[in-house]
Amino acid sequence: YEALTIAWDQASQTPAKANRLFVQAHRIAVSLRASPAGSSGLQALLSHESRAVRLCSAAECLPFSPDAASLVLREIALGPGLHAVSAETVLKEFEAGRLNMDW
């Protein structure tokens, strides 16, 4: 999961490749969320050095650890660039009850 989210971030200039990597990472995250060990692993990534890893992990952690995940997303939203916009959007959708992380 970690390697895929880093690759997703690095592929941002190639949208088709980035989208494919994002879907692969999300599918793995859905599997990880199904077990306590996997959920713990995702939570551990909330403090990762990569903003992209923190962003993706925080979104995936919202269903089972909303407080910790929201803090990470708020921190990312204060920064520059597309990750900030993504973090802000994920938070807004989550808070409005429209975010579905089980796709």
Placement of tokens 């690095």 in the chain: 10
Residue 13: φ, ψ to 5°: -85, -5
Distance CA 62, CA 77 (A): 15
Structure confidence at residue 85 (pLDDT): 98
What are the tens digits of pLDDT across the range 46-102? Answer: 999 999 999 999 999 999 999 999 999 999 999 999 999 999 999 999 999 999 999
Structure confidence at residue 86 (pLDDT): 97
Q: 27 with 33: CB under 8 angstroms?
A: no
pTM: 0.95
What are the tens digits of pLDDT across the range 8-60? Answer: 999 999 999 999 999 999 999 999 999 999 999 999 999 999 999 999 999 99
